[in-house]
Amino acid sequence: MAEKQCSSSGCTKESCEGCPSKNKPTSFQVASNEYTKVKHVIGVVSGKGGVGKSMVTASLANLMAEKGYRVGILDADITGPSIPKMYGLHGPAQADDNGIYPPLAENDIKVMSINLLMPDEEAPVIWRGPVISGMVKQFWTDVIWGELDYLFVDMPPGTGDVPLTVFQSLPLDGIVIVSSPQDLVQMIVKKAYHMAKSMNVPILGIVENYSYLVCPDCGKKISVFGESHIEEIAGKMDLKVLGKMPIDPSLAELSDKGDFAKAENKYLTDAFEVLHQLDRVKKEEA
Ligand SMILES: Nc1ncnc2c1ncn2[C@@H]1O[C@H](COP(=O)(O)OP(=O)(O)OP(=O)(O)O)[C@@H](O)[C@H]1O
């Protein structure tokens, strides 16, 4: 018997009976802008706010840009955007009938964020969830990303509406979970972990931020937020630890000055292998 063809307009309850696609999950993914060709989309998530997700997103982006890859950052943290400031970028972004052009950071990373579209970057975004989610989708459908090897998505914290939209709408190749060494972390990492698992998105690994502080006088490592349990937690969930970032005042300074393009990535070197591996797998599949 010939297989029935699904159609977005012609399917009826009756015609769906016996159709092999009937029980297949519906994809909510949206199409990218026609001038966008991104090889890998990587989400950077955290179960709670303030763990340094943007810092890790930008550090991963710098790492791959330093290695010669074409990189972009989609700032999906609509109510707390920090990426443009880190790279000293200001709006308004240029646009024409084809779409919106992401400004370039000093190290050629393409960036799109709500702050590059608002007339006043200090004005708060007081929008309801669906409007915010719509904006994030537009960053994919309307922004001309061009040809990129890696697009990092700085997700809003938590597991609410907007992270869900990103998980459903964008073709994520994987996510990186960011955590900090507090006691709460196990529960928080698990939330992000379970969300990714339930959406069938691969977890590339965990980064621990604020891992320690190096005393500028004696060089001793101080565990400001308590001893790290990240290896143990990652082991239990069968995840890779992609790196531990200390509290590094030079990174905070570069970020505050808008000079983050100059930040050298010394801490997330293990992440390179994992991200590079994605590229290798895709090349082999092609
Ligand atoms: N490893 C670090 N060393 C020094 N400063 C850091 C480090 N990580 C983050 N910071 C600083 O801490 C502040 C918060 O970091 P960041 O904006 O990355 O957090 P976030 O998790 O993205 O926040 P939110 O959840 O609100 O989006 C920033 O000022 C950043 O420069």
Domain-located, residue 162? yes
250, with CB counted inside 10 A (0-12, 13-18, 19+), is exposed
Instruction: Report which ligand 1 atom has the smallest distance to the Cα of 49.
Output: 25
Domain-located, residue 73? yes
Domain-located, residue 21? no
Local confidence band at 271 (pLDDT 50, 70, 90 cut-offs): very high
pLDDT at 73 over 50: yes
Count of CB atoms within 10 A of residue 228's CB?
19
> What CA–CA distance (Å, rounded) separates 114 from 217?
41
Quick check: CB of 77 below 6 Å from ligand 1?
Answer: yes
Residue range(s) defining the domain that contains residue 188:
30-285
Domain-located, residue 172? yes
Count of CB atoms within 10 A of residue 219's CB?
7
| pTM of this structure | 0.89
pLDDT at 133: 87
Q: What is the mean pLDDT of residues 65-88?
A: 94
Q: CB of 166 within 8 A of CB of 57?
A: no
Pocket test for ligand 1, best of 224, 255, 264, 265 (most atoms within 8 A of CB): 255
CATH number at residue 224: 3.40.50.300
Domain-located, residue 3? no
Q: How many CA atoms lie within 13 A of 246 on its CB side?
A: 14
Count of CB atoms within 10 A of residue 238's CB?
7
Nearest partner of 209 among 42, 43, 41, 59, judged by Cα: 59
> What CA–CA distance (Å, rounded) separates 275 from 246?
21
Q: What is the mean pLDDT of the chain?
A: 87
Range in 45-54, 146-155, 173-182, 234-243 the model is least confident about:
45-54
Question: What whole-number percentage of the chain has pLDDT above 70?
Answer: 89
Q: What is the mean pLDDT of residues 203-216?
A: 93
pLDDT at 59 over 50: yes
State which H helix or E strand residue 274 sits in: helix 269-285
Q: How many CA atoms lie within 13 A of 180 on its CB side?
A: 18
Local confidence band at 145 (pLDDT 50, 70, 90 cut-offs): very high
Q: What is the mean pLDDT of residues 270-279?
A: 90
State which H helix or E strand residue 135 sits in: helix 129-141
Pocket test for ligand 1, best of 44, 79, 82 (most atoms within 8 A of CB): 82
Question: Residue of the nearest CA to atom 30 in ligand 1?
Answer: 252
Give tens-digit pLDDT for 185-196.
Answer: 777 788 888 989
Domain-located, residue 96? yes
pLDDT at 22: 58
d(CA 50, ligand 1 centre) in Å: 6
Quick check: CB of 55 below 6 Å from ligand 1?
Answer: yes
Binding positions:
47-54
Question: Please, which residues have CB within 8 angstroms of residue 19's CB and are 6 or more apart in sequence?
Answer: 4, 6, 11
Amino acid letter at 11?
C
pLDDT at 2 over 50: no
More confident site: 226 or 263 = 263
Question: What whole-number percentage of the chain has pLDDT above 90?
Answer: 53
Quick check: CB of 158 below 6 Å from ligand 1?
Answer: no
Widest CA span in the chain: 78
Domain-located, residue 6? no
180 φ, ψ (degrees, to nearest 5): -130, 165
Q: CB of 111 within 8 A of CB of 83?
A: yes
pLDDT at 1: 44
Nearest partner of 162 among 184, 131, 118, judged by Cα: 131
Total structural domains within the chain: 1
Domain-located, residue 5? no
Give tens-digit pLDDT for 3-26.
Answer: 555 554 455 666 666 666 555 555
Q: What is the mean pLDDT of residues 255-282?
A: 89
Instruction: Report which ligand 1 atom has the smallest distance to the Cα of 154.
Output: 22
Quick check: CB of 165 below 6 Å from ligand 1?
Answer: no
> What CA–CA distance (Å, rounded) separates 51 from 47?
9
Question: Please, which residues have CB within 8 angstroms of residue 121's CB and are 6 or more apart in sequence?
Answer: 84, 90, 91, 115
Per-residue tokens: 171: 């073709």
